[in-house]
Amino acid sequence: MKTLFTLIACLMACGASFAQKLNKVTGKIVDEKTVPVSFAIVRVLNYPDTTAIKSVSTNIDGEFVIDQLKNGEYQLSISIVGFKGKKTDRFSLNGDLNLPAISIASMAKQLKEVSVQGKKPFVEHQIDKTVLNVENSIIATGSTALEVLEKAPGVQIDRQNDQIKLNNKNGVTVMIDGKSNFLSGADITTLLSNMSSDQIATIELITNPSAKYDAAGNAGIINIKLKRNKAFGTNGTVSVNTGQGIMPDSPNDLFRAGVNLNLNHRQGKWNVFGNGAVVRKAQFNNTFLTRTTLSDGLASSLTQNFDRNNKGVGYQGKLGADYYASEKTVFGVMLDANTVTTKLTNFSNTNINAVQNGASSLNYILQDANSNSPVGNLTANFNIKHDFDKKGKSITFDIDYSGFSNKKDENFLASYLNSASNPTNQTTLRNNTDAEINVYAAKTDFTLPISKTMKLETGLKSSYVVTNNDFISEQLINGVWQNDLGKSNNFVYKENINAIYGSFSKEWKVFQIQVGLRGEHTHSKGTSVTEQKEVERDYFSLFPTVFVNQKISENHNIRYSYGRRVDRPNYQQLNPFVFYMDPLAVDQGNPYLKPQFTDNYQISYNYKEISFSLNYSDTRDMITQISKQDDATRIISVIRENLGRARYYSADLYIPIKVTKWWNMQNNISVYYNKFNDGNIEGAAYSAGKAAVNLFTSDTFTLPQNFSIEISAWLNSPRVNGVEQTTIYQGALNAGIQKSLMDKKLKLRLNMDDILLTNHWEGKLVYQNINMKVVNRYTSRRANFSISYNFGNQNVKSARSRNTATDDMKGRAGG
C-alpha cells in the first residue's frame, strides 16, 4: 500500500509539473514591403485586460523571442518610431508557438492618407539652435552652401574679406556632418561655393554650444548636415541643377552646373552609404577702391579697379558603412574626399594722381595676373558606439585623420605707364605655394543617466596638427628667374591640444539646468625655417557653460545661458609670409598673434513659436584684419593683429505667422550695437561703434496641383566691424517655384537669387593715415533650375548621427 501511495504521489507531482510547463513565442516584424524592422519593441499583453506581461526588442533581422510564458490567451503590441503602432489578434498558448510574419505600416504610408501634409519651414527655431531645412526648400535649390547661408537670419557673408559672420560676429566654426574641414577665410568660402545645396539636408546655427563641443568659435557653430538616406533596402536621390549668373558689365560665361547622387543600402547588420558630386562654377568679382597718401608734401590720390574671373570644377565623394554587431554595439567607418581646381584671371588698373608744389602728374599701372589652384582634402574616420542599456548609458569612440593639400601657381605681369600712356617699366613675377596640413585626432564621450531627471556626460579628446607651407617668390630679371629672398619662406607649424570636459544636467517640474566645464591645454610652435625664427606657446584654459530653462507655463518659456569660447589664429594667419597681390598691395601673416577669448551671455523668452532674446558678448584680443600704409612707397599691407576689446549687444525677435492654411510667413528682426576699442593701432588709439539692424522674412505658399512658391528677403543696415565700416544698406530678394510629380518623388524647381541686384558691398577704412573707400560687386543674381528624383524605399528612418574627433580644427587651415 505504501508503494502505491508513493507511486500516486509521484504521478501527481509529475502532472503538476507538466501543467506548469512554460512556453516560448517566436516571430518576425516586417514592413509593407516585407523588409525586416530592427529594434522594434514587442510587448506581450494578457487578454482581455491588456496588462503588459513582458517586452523584448527585435534583432537586426526583425526577429524576436519571448519565453517563460504560461498557458493562456495573449496579444502582442508592436511599436517603433516611424511606424504606426499595432496590436495583433488574440492567440492561445498551450506549447511553443511560431507566429507568421507580422506586418506594420510606416508613418510615411499612413501620412499619405491625410489630406493636409505638414512641411518644415526653411527656417526653424529650436530651443538651442536655429535650423535651416535646406532639403525641401525651393529658394535654396541650385544654390551653393555659401549662398544658402546668406539667406539665413543672423548670418552675413563678408565677401570683401572672405569671412562668415554670425550675429555680426567673426569667429564662426564651420562643421560638416559634425567634423572639421580644416579651412578658413578664402578657402572655406571656396569649399562652400563648390558645395551644391542638393548635397545638404539641414544647416544648424548654434550660437552658444555646450561644453561637449570644442571651445573654438566665439560666434558659435555652423554645422552643415549632408543628405544621408537611412531607409532599409536600397534607396537614393539623384539631382541635376544648372544656373546662369546675370550681372552687368561681366563676362558672358557665368554658367554653373552640378550633378549629385546619394545612395544607401541597408540590409541585415550592414548599412552602406555614399554620395558623389560634380560641380562646375563660374564667378565674377569687381572691386573698385580709392585711397590717398601724403609724404613730404607729395599728395597722391589712387584709384584701383580689379576684375576677377573665377572658374573651376570640383569633385566630392563619400563612402561609409555601419555594422550593427548587436543591438547595443555599432562599428562605423567613413572616407570622405573632395578636390577642386580653380583658375583665376585678374586684371587691375591703377591710376595715380600725384600733386606736389602745385604741379600734378598722372601715372598708370596695368597688371594681368592668373593663377591655378588645385585643392584637395581627404578625411578618414573609424568610430564605435556601445549602449550599455536602454536607459541611455553609452560610450562612443572616434579616431580621425585628415590631410589637406593646397597648391597655387600665380603669375603677374605689371606695366607702368606715364601720363602719355607710354611704358616706363615692366615687372614679371611668379609665386608658387605648396601647403600641406596633416591632422590626427581621437576622442571618446561617455553618457551616464543617473536617473530619469539627471544625466552626466564626460569625455576626452586629443589632436595633433602639422602644417608645412613652402612659398617661393621669383622675379624675372634680364630673362632669368631669380628668387626673391625677402618674400620666399618655409613655415612649419605644430600644435597639440588635449581636452577634457564634464557636463551635468538636472530636470525639475519648472526648471532644467545644465552646467559644464571644459579644459583645454594647447602647446604650439611656429617655425620660420628660412628666417630661423620660432614662436612657441603653452597655455591651459577653462571654458565653463551654464544653461537654465524655466518653464513658466505650457506656452511660456525663459532660457538663460552663458559660455566662454576661444578662437585660435588659423594656420595661415600665423604664417609670416608676404603675399604679393599687386605692385601696391601685399598681404602678410603674424606669428605673434594671440588667441582671442569671448564670454557670451543670452536670455531668451519663448511664447509658443514666438521668441525674443537679448545677447551680450565680450571679446578680448580680437583677431582682426587691418591695413597699414606706407605713404612714401604708396604700398598698403594687409596684416592681422589683436584688437584690444570688442563688445556686441543685440536683441532678436522671431515671429512666425500662419496667414492662411496655404500661406506661412517667418520674420526675424535683429537690432545690435558693436563697440571696438584699442589703445594702440598703428601708433594711435582707436574707438568705433555703431547700431545696426538686420531684417529677414520668408513666405511659403502651398498651391493646388502640387505647386508651391517660396519668397524670401533680407536687409542689413550700415555697420561697423573692427576697423571696417559698411556704408550702405545691403540685401536681396529671392523667389522660387516648385512642381512635384510622380507621387512627389520627382521635383522640378526654378528660382532666382537677388532679383533686384541689391546685394553688393560698399565701405570704408578711416583711421590713422588710412583713408580708403571700397565698392565690391560679385555674382549675386543668378537664375537656377533643378531636377531631383527620389528612388527606392524612402520610408523607414533608423540610423544614428555622430560627431567625429576633429571638431576643433575646422576653420583654422588655409586662409
In-domain check, residue 3: no
Name the 3-class secondary structure at 326.
coil
Task: Tell me the C-alpha to C-alpha distance, in Å, between residue 387 and each of 79, 220, 384, 395, 459.
Answer: 20, 30, 10, 7, 16
Q: Are residues 144 and 86 in the same domain?
A: no
Query: What is the CA angle 332-336-339, rounded to 5?
Result: 175
Domain-embedded: residue 2:
no
Same domain? For 256 and 195 the reply is: yes
Rounded to the nearest 5°, which phi and psi values hold at 198?
A: -65, -20
Q: Is residue 1 part of a domain?
A: no
Instruction: Give, for 188, the enclosing helix (H) or strand (E).
Output: helix 185-193
Which of 111, 135, 159 is the C-terminal boundary of a domain?
A: 111
Contact 228, 799 (CB under 8 A): yes
Dump the DSSP string for 443-497. EEEEEEE-SSSEEEEEEEEEEEEEEEEEEEEEEEETTEEEE-TTT-EEEEEEEEE
pLDDT, tens only, 450-490? 998 899 999 999 999 999 999 999 999 999 999 987 788 89
In a domain, 170, yes or no: yes
Rg (CA), the chain: 31
Average the pLDDT over each of 12-21, 300-309, 370-379 and give the range with the smallest value. Answer: 12-21
> Do the domain assignments include residue 422?
yes
Task: Judge residue 376's burial from the number of C-beta atoms within 10 Å of its C-beta, 0-12 exposed, 13-18 middle, 19 or more buried.
Answer: middle
Domain shared by 427 and 336, yes or no = yes
- What CATH code is carried by the domain that includes residue 398? 2.40.170.20
Q: What is the pLDDT of residues 24-59, one digit of tens each?
A: 889 999 888 777 887 788 888 888 777 778 878 787
Q: Grid coordinates representing 687?
A: 574707438
Question: What are the residues whose beta carbons fall under 8 Å from the beta carbon of 7, sequence distance 6 or more?
Answer: none
Does 80 share its domain with 221?
no
Q: Are residues 70 and 198 in the same domain?
A: no
Question: Is 797 part of a structural domain of the chain?
Answer: yes
Note the pLDDT tens digit of each residue in 489-509: 899 999 999 999 999 999 998
CATH number at residue 55: 2.60.40.10
227 and 371, same domain (yes or no):
yes
Rounded to an integer, what distance in angstroms lies between the CA atom of residue 489 and that of residue 507? 57
What is the per-residue pLDDT across 286-324, written as a single tens digit (0 to 9) for each?
999 999 999 999 999 999 999 999 999 999 999 999 998
DSSP-assigned beta bridge partners for residue 711: 699, 735
- List the strands of the sheet with 200-206, edge to edge: 123-125, 130-133, 200-206, 220-226, 172-176
- 61 shares its domain with 205: no
pLDDT above 70 for 206 = yes
- Is 11 domain-assigned? no
Last residue of a domain, one of 85, 111, 137: 111
Residues 50 and 144 in one domain: no
Mean pLDDT on 207-228: 77
Residue 16 lies in a domain: no
673 and 569 part of one domain: yes
Same structural domain, 76 and 191:
no
679 burial level (CB within 10 Å; 0-12, 13-18, 19+): exposed
The neighbouring-strand residues paired with 724 are 721
Res 608: pLDDT: 81
Do 96 and 161 fall into the same domain?
Answer: no
Q: Are strands 233-245 and 255-267 parallel, antiparallel or unpaired?
A: antiparallel
> pTM for the complete prediction?
0.76
Number of compact structural domains in the chain: 2
**Residue that is last in its domain, among 46, 80, 111:** 111
Over residues 433-438, mean pLDDT: 92
Most confident of 44-58, 154-168, 640-654: 640-654
Same domain, 91 and 179: no
Domain span including residue 629: 123-809
Q: Which of 471, 481, 404 is nearest to 432 (CA)?
A: 471
